[in-house]
Structure 1
């Protein structure tokens, strides 16, 4: 699988069609939670989906995200809208440096030229960096038989055949018990993804699964930071109507009382931020993504202050001015 005669390789990862349901609130960057999950759990991502590659990487050495180098590829591609998300430098067990390209594609419908696009990214990276490129695809759509894994082109005897490995998230529906028993964070990511699609027209079932997946975060023994990161993903994909979000918050409160779960405080803060965002959206329409991020970054005390201040807001400029006067005290989505 690996070319021992070359010093470097790339790995390209593509995830397509993360389905947004009719009950979801609008998202400015629907692919953001997947990008963040990849950023937070790159090692676990490789281990979960591509164990052969995982076995060839020396994880005792630090890996490095090369965002600036990746942005140059994105600018040079000139092939339409693409989401080339993370370029990562790792080390192989042989001691040789290797580069991994994590390419995330989020789209709402089947793309007939998907294989060609994977090939284009592969050869552009190879051309710029003179490195062999390993291209990987994770398909998140709901068409069971759509499994593009090859690009072919032939003209007057000049032929190209480009094969790349794929993972189909739908295949995990029949492996649910494995997901439940796994402690890899991407098991939770896959479960949330599948339930987001399954409950797109059933908000009550969605609320039940959102509670179940959140409870499992504690049952799996994750630490506080992991719980908050994974809850962010669950919360984003399994968005609920406002009334059901409030009911869910009450359910989580009761769960905390019954099982003494100290980390729920952070999740409660996220719930408060969501309620405030709903209120601001009703007043002024959909907020810009940067303002949403700032609200989500506020501390519990700041959220309380904003809840009172918004009673006097008359325009979105009031929101902007308040946030500028009250800079965030912590990174987004931490308690």
Structure 2
């Protein structure tokens, strides 16, 4: 038995955003937002495909949008790539959904709470070990909630979730495990199948329930994501290398004086790891020949 990757946009919408998925989405949102309490009794899944894309922001999209219990709005999005200004996009989409509730002469009391749930396949918050974070408006000094907090941002950072099947305790644990690990499963785990909605989600995620055209679409989306991530990683490495190179060249000039062009060119060819090693060795150099000897002995 093989399962598709539920983190891919096409699969995520099929599992959580289809007309037959209301019970799955209710159970999922109750687990993540309300500690599995039956706060959400009913919802309506709304077609969340964007109309005209925002100028300069081609990926301003929502995976699933729903109205909860006839009023409140839930926005659910999964993000696999840590793109620039992701946090700004999250707040923009939440604020936009909040403001668009009113039309014409409608009064502000008609506004309903917007909860924006973002599932990130990367770490967002340093020095925060928990995988689930919630943000609301608070008073800066005393930290009490703003009485009119109508926008709530909830983030799930998948890399911070490390529990195995035998460690799953709560409904929240089980849904996060489903999102993170389903594509690696070969059978339906008992820990997940015990929850009817999770069992249904796993049935939907079975590759046998997808046409070949749909599987090709999933593969294309996954390959595109991999290509984008590689491009981002290469760009980050280049920025890191440029900063390292600039610092090390300044250190060498201070310690040894003028660096010959051919020597500088050799240094520029070093990898990020080699530059790290050279940075450690610089303090031991007393003569240009020391640098030359190091390059001959250590450059790959």
Shorter-chain TM-score: which interval?
0.3 to 0.5
The structure whose Rg is larger is 2
